[in-house]
Amino acid sequence: TWSVKSSEYIGDQHKENIINIINRIDYVASNYKENSEISLINQNTNNFHFVSDDLFNILSIAKEVEIQSLGFYNILLGKISSNLGFSPTFGKELVHKKNSSFKLNEKNQSIEKLSSNWFDLSSIAKGYAVQEIHNYLVKEKLVNHLIDIGGEIIANGNNAGKSWKIGIQNPFSISDNASIIVDNKFKFLAIASSGEYRNYKISSDGQKVTHTINPVTLSSINNSILSVTVVSETSATFADAYATAFNAMGTSMALEIANNNKIATMIIYKPKNDIDIIFSDKWYDLFYE
């Protein structure tokens, strides 16, 4: 689902253009469309590909987050995700190889996969789409808006003269109940959350199977984190990717990397029997100055 809210009038032509942006990125990044750009690359036996502007931009940001997260952000785990039932296999026998990386060539806008593993852009594509819609609205001088695609959010400007207030989902609530509310203070804020409280399965032996994969163990994550929220003053794409990376690596490492890179992060976790919330230094700078 998606929504764009504004106290300004957004005409039908803008609504149509927003839908076109969403459809354009869907046909680049969707794991569910067999003829999307990323699905065609996944199913092609060649490892070298020229790619579209959108895909190159997405992969460039993904590579940066992969490096800064020490490999805990990995978008080449698509075969594992498909085998777990979180995206289609398209009738293929999916065998994941150990080498899960890729190279980018900016000069000719190409990529080189270092194995036959599949890309999975579900942890970054929504953030990229939100950012693209924001860029379009700002270009059209519609600067006061709240954009939401599946929980990835950009708040910009004001809401009828008031700041935007966004609730962060309580992972224990089946309704839209907020654990904490953030205020954009009339500025650009991108907000992304990652957690296993809604998107998971129960295996035949009663084990919880989550959609986030640990790139070290190559299995569903198993740590104390309930949800991670990342807030960025510059990019919804980065916020989306970092939220997944921090969710995959666990509380202590996530907090260390968030502090080292000045990333505003909130982690809701369950150390033993209690529930706790921990914030990075940048979160305090943003909301408690």
Tens digits of residue pLDDT in 1-24: 999 999 999 999 999 999 999 999
Q: Which residues contact 169 (CB under 8 A, 6 or more apart)?
A: 151, 176, 177, 178, 179, 193, 195, 197, 227
135-169: pLDDT as tens digits:
999 999 999 999 999 999 999 999 999 999 999 87
The secondary structure element, H or E, covering residue 144 is none
Q: Which two tokens stand for residue 113?
A: 């996969």
pLDDT at position 179 over 80: no
Residue 279, beta-bridge partner list: 266
pLDDT at position 99 over 80: no
Helices 12-29 and 125-139 sit at what angle, rounded to 10 degrees? Answer: 150
**Which is nearest to 52 in space by CA: 29, 78, 82?**
29
- By residue count, the chain amounts to 289
Main-chain phi, psi angles of 270, to 5 degrees: -125, 90
Q: Which two tokens stand for residue 99?
A: 């080498």
Helices (H), ranges, 84-226: 125-139
CB-count exposure of residue 266 (10 Å: 0-12, 13-18, 19+):
buried
pLDDT at position 61 over 80: yes
Angle at 215 between CA 212 and CA 221, to 5 degrees: 40
DSSP letter for each residue of 41-89: HHH-S-SEEE--HHHHHHHHHHHHHHHHTTT---S--HHHHHHTTSS--
Give CA 180 to chain center in angstroms. Answer: 20
* Mean pLDDT score, 197-208: 56
Q: Which of 66-70, 71-75, 132-136, 171-175 has the lowest mean pLDDT?
A: 171-175
pLDDT at position 133 over 90: yes
The answer to whether the CB of 273 falls within 8 A of the CB of 260 is: no
The answer to whether the CB of 227 falls within 8 A of the CB of 180 is: no
Main-chain phi, psi angles of 23, to 5 degrees: -65, -40
Give me the chain's average pLDDT, please.
90
pLDDT at position 93 over 90: no
Question: How many percent of the chain have pLDDT more than 70?
Answer: 91
**Which is nearest to 192 in space by CA: 232, 158, 237, 240?**
240
pLDDT at position 35 over 80: yes
- For 18, 21, 140, 158, 235, the CA distances from 14, given in Å and listed in that order, are 6, 10, 9, 19, 22
pLDDT of residue 220: 73
Residue 120 to residue 86: CA distance in whole angstroms: 10
Q: Which two tokens stand for residue 51?
A: 């790619």
